[in-house]
Structure 1
């Protein structure tokens, strides 16, 4: 983009959310205060794996200022479990706890101090069970099953060569498979290299905690949440509480970072449960420590078997990937499909055979984390490409360029095409880094990698409405959330560009599921590319209607 081509895009103007944040008037879910609001706190399991024999809340309920102590006994008429594809995580522990930090009970009280005191008065009787803290321990023949019965859930439908199985074996909640052509091509390879890579889990550690405020009045449910997926959460709450979706409204203000962890339900179901039981608004905000007990990135073991010719031509790749899903499935099926589609990298193969298993362990549940499996796949795939280059005594650049897919070539058979010139991009980077003349001193190095987001898997739709007011103001109504990434600045800039108006005239409407157009969620780094297209098309329609009206009225 050049400055002379665009009127608004590429020009300097303040961030849309900048003034709110630097002056302290920006609102977050934790700032919501409603008259009569209660405060909730959660009792968590000290055991990695145990059967819950009895929960006695008598003393806690008797404490002055306590309005309700929620346990599994409050689930009548509910489907008290949630998850993306597999609904296996309970709102509160039902039969067992499956990791240290699993939620057992929750107290709604007049203030936080009283709620904390009440937690100490809850008596829980456990029967400790064998823990399975690692992938290896969980897959052992004598390992205990974390779930004795199949869980509610479904399998996504995929394109050519891809398939999945729900709960294919003990302690595996989901398996994704991808295969093209015949494995016989391995027999003709000059070399077959097999390498194993380990990837540790990491924490999202955003500044704003998981927080939700819920209010249940009559048959109307209002929720204020720090979530990345208000519409998906509304659907989950409707199923959990067997309550009409149109009677549940989720409101989202600014979100203080998410990085994937705030997709799907976290605090919302428990806040709504307590609001229904007490008849009063309830605020549930986790502490920073509780954040560590809620969601992480997937640790993984990736075994890659790659066939290659002497001249560096890549022929086949067989991948076996084990994701540590923790105690519940959360977004593991989605991460599995993404790491499965991405493990071949951006290279041309005659044969691909990928199997990804989501292994349940007695660890904190793992979910979406910046790239949905892309980081695990890129680390293993690009590391092995470098290793193969060294074994063949080739420059890593030359090996990559020889095998890179071309612009317009299908990412994998049956899926969308490569939409950028990867070789040109790599050449530009190498030129800027002076790669060919790089230092080769001992202890000095320069690495290359080519990482892209795949075109495989399920789609991501976006809807937007753009309105013009009578005084020339513009309102953008979109469910894309401002997480600190500048999405509202980008989207309002695009609208101003299409309508040829001042950027300051464009307002971003509050996100509320009752009136905001539906969107899957703000994740996968897709706001500008996908929602951006939606707001541009909506703005173009406004432009044409205004021009048509003006032509008729001013004729």
Structure 2
């Protein structure tokens, strides 16, 4: 609010040139020729780059899993809006003006954005181009199969088998801050300032692309004006790194809001699911086929698809299961990490089946879930962490807070759903804490700040552990040349992993203080106590500043503590290792629906999270409420609309996120605190959980209020109204008969 935070677009080093990307408004195109004459004649334009500047090998490519995405389109564009040229100028306005005058001769090629389209189309990628592929089909990026038990035998014993399809569209992250990055060429390499969640990941990607030692690439992540996963993996950083080195000057690119729609998005997904139950409502089997539409390049989709497939059966005991999860290439912008990391698609399908089964079997939806819910210590899937919380109690807490067994008013409905996802496994976080001569402390961490409050949380934890006032602790974040390594700021892992690394570092620093105080007091280090920032060694007593002054001299010296939290990899695990914890949530909603229009009004949302232990309650509630509202947007209105591969609503005017009139009239956030998490004070991560179960809870409430079952997102008034008309027509027909 004060403008004191410097975001990426606020940074313009001396001598900076500005870049604008030239894009084609077609789904796919074969490039015939380009003409930069008019662009170069634009006042202020200094250079124009195309793929031809890199010879027959084409421009450098980047990607977190496979280096498949070129910094500029090579020979053809593979998605709507893929950049074909970069116009460089002395000002941003001049670069944009020059880009508008760049001419491209191209042949438009067919595009696709559906499962059926991907299956019927020619291969998007050919063998002479680096890409991931699977023999399931010409546009299959990858396939992951999971399963156990005898499916045929389980089906034979089922009293009820439900066979349905659930769909969710492409969606946009819609961070307020657009993508922005600036690169500064150095004698030994390059420095990149980027709005990025994972600076060390970006450093690796750029170093690999440029064939430089990692130590020659410096990434300084700026605070972010929102991300939700969209700024996790490399987007603009590699582009500015390549061209700044060619120019020999700093280069900055800031995308418009419309361009951000063409840079990263959430995958669309189609889930075909068959679910069996016995007469008592207990699951007999689950069979899921999930097709994720991942865009033109792999990005991080291999992890999204495989991780979602592994835990597709959710929190329920399932004697027999078969899961097939595939990623399919489409001529749409590459999909990337998105809050929930794909888990919401499978939650929507599995929870929808639970509600339909409850209706068909005449069992209360809460009771049906409790009959099938796994309890603490039960296995999840082979090789994974067992259930690490009291999941049935989460359901009971939500039902109680929602007054589940109190009849609803006419025209209203209630719904409840369970959501879960695993945390990224086998990662490392390292931290350093430095105590200055005056006893103040600087904590150095690789976490990026994007509004989740990591700076304040880490400062508060370190201050509490050392017994310092909070203004005596500062936090330095996300500079690969300064802070120790951190794998990523994602998957709700930062409080657990970096919190534990900081705790280890503070313990290491405290040991160093004890050793020096022991010399001052003439006692063993084990006999030195530190309580509320007061150090006592025998008869000697003093503050941290007193220890530093007595050890190094007034105003001199420094002590450091180093810490680490590491989860070991497992080569036999599909994800590289078991999860350190599960995010488990229950969302319950009460809503009303206008019978004339299908418009719904959400009166109340109750959201219950297994938090392990809450560190900052205000921030925890904020994360939950933000997740719930974002989940409502995805459930009720948000969708990227494509026609023949062309994006029709890629702007803030046309893409419908929730506004103040759409939020719940009442929102209640509750937390289960059993102190059973691996983080500080027994905490678990919770930043993604708010989004997981909102859509199925809303769908269940719509069904309760109207009888209409919506299996395709978003749940629009039009869809509700159409279903209500079909129900009314069926009732009239039955009455006539």
TM-score for the superposition, normalised by structure 1? 0.90
* Alpha-carbon offset, residue 120 of structure 1: 2.8
* Alpha-carbon offset, residue 192 of structure 1: 2.0
2:494 to 504, 527, 551: 527
List aligned pairs for 1:129-528, cutoff 5 A.
129-140=109-120, 143-149=121-127, 152=130, 166=134, 168-183=136-151, 184-439=153-408, 441-454=409-422, 458-528=425-495
> SS where residue 418 of structure 2 aligns?
coil
**Cα offsets for 1:36-63 (capped at 9, x unmatched):** 1111101001221111122222442344
**Cα offsets for 1:185-228 (capped at 9, x unmatched):** 33322222111101122211111110100011322301100001
**Cα offsets for 1:75-118 (capped at 9, x unmatched):** 35887222232332211100211222111001111012221222
Worse-superposed segment, 90-99 or 186-195: 186-195
* Alpha-carbon offset, residue 458 of structure 1: 4.1
Find the aligned partners of 1:453 and 1:552 in 2 and give their Cα distance. Answer: 50
Find the aligned partners of 1:428 and 1:64 in 2 and give their Cα distance. Answer: 65
Worse-superposed segment, 356-365 or 392-401: 356-365
* Alpha-carbon offset, residue 364 of structure 1: 2.3
* Alpha-carbon offset, residue 419 of structure 1: 1.4
Alignment correspondent of 1:49: 28
* Alpha-carbon offset, residue 479 of structure 1: 0.8
> SS where residue 446 of structure 1 aligns?
strand
Find the aligned partners of 1:167 and 1:276 in 2 and give their Cα distance. Answer: 39
Q: CA RMSD in A?
A: 1.9
CA contact under 8 A between 1:78 and 1:242: conserved in structure 2?
A: no
**Cα offsets for 1:262-285 (capped at 9, x unmatched):** 011111121112211211101100
Answering whether residue 61 of structure 2 is matched by residue 81 of structure 1, we say yes
Distance of aligned partners of 1:120 and 1:153 in 2 relative to their CA distance in 1, 3 Å threshold? closer
1:106 to 62, 66, 86: 86
**Cα offsets for 1:116-166 (capped at 9, x unmatched):** 2221332212122122232211112xx121112275467xxxxxxxxxx75
Distance of aligned partners of 1:313 and 1:150 in 2 relative to their CA distance in 1, 3 Å threshold? farther
Higher relative contact order (CA 8 A, sep 6+): 1
Find the aligned partners of 1:362 and 1:389 in 2 and give their Cα distance. Answer: 40
Find the aligned partners of 1:123 and 1:62 in 2 and give their Cα distance. Answer: 13
> SS where residue 106 of structure 2 aligns?
strand
Find the aligned partners of 2:407 and 2:442 in 1 and give their Cα distance. Answer: 51
Matched residue count: 520
Find the aligned partners of 2:465 and 2:407 in 1 and give their Cα distance. Answer: 45
Answering whether residue 513 of structure 2 is matched by residue 546 of structure 1, we say yes
Find the aligned partners of 1:110 and 1:79 in 2 and give their Cα distance. Answer: 24
CA contact under 8 A between 1:463 and 1:531: conserved in structure 2?
A: yes
Find the aligned partners of 2:81 and 2:257 in 1 and give their Cα distance. Answer: 13
CA contact under 8 A between 2:289 and 2:323: conserved in structure 1?
A: yes
**Cα offsets for 1:229-262 (capped at 9, x unmatched):** 1111111111112222211100112111110000
> SS where residue 207 of structure 2 aligns?
helix
CA contact under 8 A between 1:71 and 1:104: conserved in structure 2?
A: yes
* Alpha-carbon offset, residue 352 of structure 1: 2.0
> SS where residue 434 of structure 1 aligns?
coil
Worse-superposed segment, 260-269 or 78-87: 78-87
Find the aligned partners of 1:488 and 1:377 in 2 and give their Cα distance. Answer: 33
Answering whether residue 100 of structure 2 is matched by residue 120 of structure 1, we say yes
Worse-superposed segment, 356-365 or 544-553: 544-553
* Alpha-carbon offset, residue 483 of structure 1: 0.2
Q: State the structure with more CA Rg.
A: 2
Find the aligned partners of 2:215 and 2:127 in 1 and give their Cα distance. Answer: 32
CA contact under 8 A between 1:482 and 1:488: conserved in structure 2?
A: yes
> SS where residue 104 of structure 1 aligns?
strand
Find the aligned partners of 1:352 and 1:75 in 2 and give their Cα distance. Answer: 50
